[in-house]
Structure 1
């Protein structure tokens, strides 16, 4: 008898054919894998223009044409636009009709969502009726609950609230209503949570939901070491479920008898708050975690009218939009920060009991999601990150372009196809650099200029504008450094004057000269080579650091004035670089330094990315420590000041033997620990 029942079940399954809409979508293609593991034929609705995509999917699944059959049609047409002959061929053959096709996108416009989600569902039900489908399986969404404040059960529907908060909420709710009221076939409804990548492969096909926050996490990782605590928002609870668990649960429930007419929440029974989720992915991406999380609900005491009035102010609106744009976060996502709904999933749990289909913990597979995003979906992967894409055919001015960092940067920029302009005081060095660039096929224009002389600066600006019409990128690289303690500078006021004259006034003169044309064209980029000393307050460099700090301060002010005119300012707080400028200080021969080529790479990064600031993690950390504990930081720097004496040159002693300035092991260890800082 048992053998007969087994044979009957096998025969029944062999006649179990499927129809699937949205088969090439994210959930659909994973469901196909499950259905193909069973017996029977799977018919897939494929619209015109998606045949190649479907064939690629067929090849990936290794499915023969007789088991994975194309049915041509369109969501926007009655009965999905399936031809009468094919309707006749399908009639009575479809046991399970899965309607997955929809527009799952909070950012899509209302009309597109209505066409796909509402009308598409109505047309799908028409087809299911026409082919006498055994059971319709409709994939709805937790969005059908809108922003219901509290626990939303599987038997609840009309209780949904605030559906007009987003067209996606409204259209998913209406689509489910159509199934509940118009479907003439047996049906089952599935409401998945926010579907994320595959828990074993990390695969996902687009940025959505929590993935919008990955860019923010990445920026945090770039700015700070992973052990630095940060402050963030706690927010509401978001319900995340991996796609492989969703399709496994759906496949199991669909084939279990006696469940028609029910709704199933494919959700996490213990969802995490947004702050917790961010920290899980921060750990996966080796970024700093939010040690303190502020509950966004604490701002609820502010009347809604006041919040709305503040949000509508042009400066506030612009600030928020710029911030969201920089982090790649759509404004629609901000509505979900205080997401108020929890989902009871007891019916789904009861249906899955004994199936061994368990929801995996986010902590166990978050690293796979991050890895897949970073390798395949990170928006930075699709941006032209080549230097050539940013400078080819454009006028780029590099001051101090014949030596050290400037020369290394000039070679790279010219090789990328820029119309390079370099200036320096030495004609022979200018000629030699130009010859090298032109021999490599680049374009280089040279101008003899003394940036410490106002008249020479003005003449340079006028000549460049006359010769080239405008400047696209200005790299203020030329500079002078003096390593001397203040005690030895009482009678050397000219040290402060000459560093300020070149490092600040010379650079400022060029900025003021080229800036009007940049603003008029609404395009321009000014890159100022500053120093890590501005962030670390390096002793013995008071003249140099003060001049660079002045340029930093000017840039911050200028950013505020020109941010809406297409002109960008970037400050590079350059660490210690091995150039002729530091050659007189012999201790630098024994401590870690950047090469000019490595320093030039930072300039290349500035040109490509156009950030406000480029600094080492040590420089940023030093600034944070100084802000939080200035007295403790003062002790550290005073220790360094006493550990590293003034050089013989700074003391005015000539002819001292080299051995007398050999660094001690303590000095080398300290300089290595705080790599890149000027001592």
Structure 2
């Protein structure tokens, strides 16, 4: 199957090309202007091996017949099964003449090329803009009824579709996407337009006002939004269905959102202020029809909007009342499994990508500062402290009185990376977080165990993904984190739960410095490296939580754990400093000081049979509680008593620990075996193991 496409390097075009290359034995020819071949090379790089079937054809949208040379056209004549005309200017701020040339004349030139090449079917990507400001529902069978074209984009898209209807000499099909936003999974988008102006506006408001501020708003017009992956998949699927030539398909969502509903949906996702009360449309409709257009023409209003990088033409959508049906599209897609995803489900992905890649605030914070701007003192941000205080009391109260619903409210839709997830407390925590609606990224060395846990979560309707890696290897940590960022756009909560515990006296460690190196590599360097990789995304989103699992040993300082506690002291030192530095960014750093937990991992150490230990269920509750409250530390009565005793009576505390050290017998470690002795029976003394922090010997 051979395809020709215009606009292959554009945002929608890239995804259409990707879908076309999934077709059996597909070869795609992309019309590319001379000098712009590098753009197609970039698309090929993104597509990987399948791009071997993607070829450039030199052409120009502004030239008759697309300016395709006879030498290029002759081999393609009669060989192109489908021509997809995607190229157009999708920009409210674009010049009227430029839009006329690209959208109208460009369509006419593409139709000429379709006729010359004798293509099987011409697929025209139109837009719901062809309806103009039609007052009511605009069906797929309607066209001439389009009216009140308030800006050049609406008008040129209407005229472009008219060209297809009136001038096409080959079979054609027409697709009208509604407002196209980023990919429903990754959130990927190429520019700020349409609903993204609301992202920008709310972000600006959020710099000055807390979320709970009662902002007045309006019910406003109707918005219909679809992600780019749905649009591309739908067009390519419908293109291959028989007996649909001459039809038009509205690639829209059955659900329309009022301006007020959309603002509040974005606000709920982004934790920014929304409309706390809305002026109903029946009051707004009493204003003259010219009110909004006249307002948009005011120089002061235009200057204000442009200062926020918002197109003044976007004001026309404030009262946009046109709605759309999709009966033809729904019928053509029946049985394909292709349906518009719920905006509420993929809005977090859109917002996350916006914050990381498109937000002016993010760009400003990452841009290099001129020397003149590098001042000694800067005005601090004080509002985040008020928000932190409000959240602290709110979530601690919910943890006490609404613990079941509080967890779901806190983590639903969030992405959580959990290390040491292959067994024990890590596995149990993963199950409960998945049940509460979180997407779990399970990390450990054992893939088989992780797969078993992930399968159980998925069978129960949850979301879980497996990532294996050696957290004691810095390069492997970097690789794992970059893979996570690429696949999920980042992480909302990082739980550093994996750790290595070594129980051995210092007098038996004099020739074992590698014990200290190994505990530091995993417990300290591995955890910090995970955080440093994932922190940029959290800071850009203005929200994130890092949980470092530590031990009550930090307060009690038991003997024989110098290597283990040394690494945990280092991690806690980093955690305290990180918490102090990040307090104004929306990122919280918490520490859990677990006591000994009664799990199978401690059974080989017989002394623990006589030591009080926490139940695994209680340990899970501790973890869930700190996720809900985001408190700075979670420590039990034993830890608090040990710390108080140490500071009040340091010598007495030291003597007590020393007495217990002398009383408990410890066998010296076995000498290192020579290679020829490697098959001999080893000592049964359990002095070293790698496990989750919550199961480590304390």
Query: Could you say which TM-score interval applies, normalised by the shorter chain?
Result: 0.5 to 0.7
Residue 432 of structure 2 corresponds to: none
Q: Does 1:288 align with 2:273?
A: yes
Residues 99 and 274 of structure 1, relative CA distance in 2, 3 Å threshold: same
Q: Does 1:93 align with 2:61?
A: no
Match of 2:358 among 377, 380, 392: 377
Give, in whole Å, the separation in 2 of the partners of 1:151 and 1:307. Answer: 22
1:519 corresponding residue in structure 2: none
Contact map agreement 1:150 1:340 (CA 8 A) in 2: yes
Q: Distance in 2 between matches of 1:410 and 1:211?
A: 30
> Structure 1 residues 296 and 60 mapped into 2: Cα distance closer, same or farther (>3 Å)?
same
Partner Cα separation in structure 2 for residue 321 and residue 245 of structure 1: 34
Residue 261 of structure 2 aligns with which residue? 276
* Rounded Cα–Cα distance in structure 1 between residues aligned with 2:237 and 2:373: 57
- Cα shift at 1:44: 0.5
The answer to whether residue 353 in structure 2 is matched with residue 367 in structure 1 is no
| Matched residue, 1:80 | 66
- For 1:85 and 1:359, the matched residues in 2 are separated by 42
Residue by residue over 1:286-311, the C-alpha shift from the partner in whole angstroms, topping out at 9 and shown as x without a partner, is 11221211235523323356777777
Instruction: Note if 1:330 corresponds to 2:311.
Output: yes
Q: Which moved more, 1:322-331 or 1:363-372?
A: 322-331
Q: Which whole-Å CA distance do the structure 1 matches of 2:362 and 2:257 have between them?
A: 30
8 Å CA contact 2:292, 2:315 repeated in 1: no
Q: Following TM superposition, by how much is the alpha carbon of 1:324 offset from its aligned partner in structure 2, in angstroms?
A: 1.7
Cα distance, 1:64 vs. partner?
5.5
Aligned mates of 1:387, 1:60 — CA distance in 2: 28
Mapped to 2, the partners of 1:67 and 1:44 lie a distance apart of: 11
In the alignment, the residues of structure 1 paired with residue 143 and residue 135 of structure 2 have an alpha-carbon distance, to the nearest angstrom, of 14
Counterpart position of 1:535: none
- 2:90 equivalent in structure 1: 104
Contact residue 117 and residue 171 of structure 1 kept, 8 A = yes
* CA deviation profile, 1:110-166 (whole Å, cap 9, x unmatched): 110011001100110111111110000000000011111111111111111012x11
Corresponding residue for residue 156 of structure 1: 142
1:264 aligns with 2:243: no
What SS class does the counterpart of residue 60 from structure 1 fall into? helix
Match of 1:470 in 2: none
In the alignment, which of 115, 138, 162 is matched to residue 177 of structure 1? 162
Is 1:232 the counterpart of 2:217? The answer is: yes
Residue in structure 2 matched with residue 351 of structure 1 by the alignment: 332
Per the alignment, in what secondary structure is the counterpart of residue 223 of structure 1? coil
The residue number in structure 1 matching 2:201 is 216
Q: Hey, what does 2:226 align to over in structure 1?
A: 241
Q: Deviations over 1:635-664 (max 9, x none)?
A: xxxxxxxxxxxxxxxxxxxxxxxxxxxxxx
Counterpart pick for 2:40 among 38, 41, 54: 54
Q: Secondary structure at the match of 1:120?
A: helix
Q: Higher mean Cα deviation, 110-119 or 223-232?
A: 223-232
Kept in 1, the 8 Å contact 2:45–2:51? The answer is no
Moved more, 223-232 or 76-85: 223-232
Contact 1:217 1:285 in 2 (8 A): no
Match of 1:439 in 2: none
Structure 1 counterpart of 2:173, from 188, 196, 201: 188
Q: Which residue of 2 aligns with 1:494?
A: none
d(CA) in 2 for partners of 1:34, 1:382:
32
- 2:366, 2:317 → 1: CA distance? 33
Query: Is contact 1:213-1:327 (8 Å) kept?
Result: no
Larger deviation, residues 223-232 vs 238-247: 223-232
Specify whether residues 88 and 368 from structure 1 end up closer, same or farther in structure 2 by C-alpha distance, changes over 3 A only: same
Matched, 1:130 2:110: no
SS of residue matched to 1:94: coil
Q: Deviations over 1:152-186 (max 9, x none)?
A: 111111111012x1111111111111100110101
> Are residues 319 and 45 of structure 1, via their aligned partners in 2, closer, same or farther at CA, if it must alter by over 3 Å?
same
**How has the CA–CA distance of structure 1 residues 216 and 123 changed in structure 2, closer, same or farther, with 3 Å as cutoff?**
same
> For this pair of structures, how many residues does the alignment match?
385
Counterparts of 1:146 and 1:411, CA distance in 2? 47
Change (3 A) 1:177 1:225: same
State how far apart, in whole Å, the 2-side matches of 1:321 and 1:351 are. 43
- Separation in 1, partners of 2:130, 2:105: 16
Distance 1:196 1:310, change over 3 A: closer
Q: Distance in 1 between matches of 2:358 and 2:295?
A: 35
Deviations 1:222-274 (A, max 9, x none): 22333344221221111100001111111111100010000000011221011
83 and 294 in structure 1: CA distance in 2 versus 1, 3 angstrom threshold: same
Deviation at 1:384, TM superposition (A): 7.5
Deviation readout 1:356-384 (Å, 9 max, x if unpaired): 11211111010110110111111234448
Residues 84 and 307 (structure 1 numbering): CA distance in 2 closer, same or farther, change over 3 Å?
closer
Out of 342, 361, 384, the residue aligned to residue 323 of structure 2 is 342
Per-residue deviation, 1:218: 1.1
C-alpha displacement of 1:385? 7.0
Counterpart CA distance in 2 for 1:411 and 1:354 is: 58
* Residues 63, 328 of structure 1: alpha-carbon distance in 2 compared, 3 angstrom cutoff: same
* 1:302 maps onto 2:270 in alignment: no
Provide Cα deviations, 1:20-44, integer angstroms capped at 9, x if missing partner.
1101111111111111111221111
In the TM superposition, residue 390 of structure 1 has moved relative to its aligned partner by: 7.4
Q: Which residue number in structure 1 is paired with residue 569 of structure 2?
A: none
Counterpart-to-counterpart distance in 2, 1:385 and 1:207: 18
Going from structure 1 to structure 2, the CA distance change for 1:191 and 1:320 (only over 3 Å counts) comes to: same
Cα RMSD (Å): 2.8
Deviation at 1:411, TM superposition (A): 14
2:101 to 115, 118, 129: 115
- Counterpart residue number, 1:26: 11
Q: TM-score when scaled to structure 2? A: 0.52
Secondary structure in 1 matching 2:235: helix
Higher CA-based Rg? 1
Query: Does the 8 A contact of 2:252 with 2:324 survive in 1?
Result: yes
In structure 2, do the counterparts of structure 1 residues 195 and 348 end up closer, same or farther at CA, with 3 Å as the change threshold? same
2:377 to 409, 420, 426: 409
**Alpha-carbon contact 2:210-2:272 (below 8 Å) kept:** yes
Q: Against the structure 1 CA distance between its residues 410 and 139, is the aligned structure 2 distance closer, same or farther, given a 3 Å change threshold? A: closer
CA distance in 1, matches of 2:362, 2:58: 35
The yes-or-no answer on 1:207 pairing with 2:192 is yes
| Helix, strand or coil at the partner of 1:71 | strand
Structure 2 unaligned residues grouped into runs of 5+? 381-579, 586-698
SS of the residue corresponding to residue 20 of structure 1 reads strand
Between the aligned partners of 2:53 and 2:368, the Cα distance in structure 1 is 50
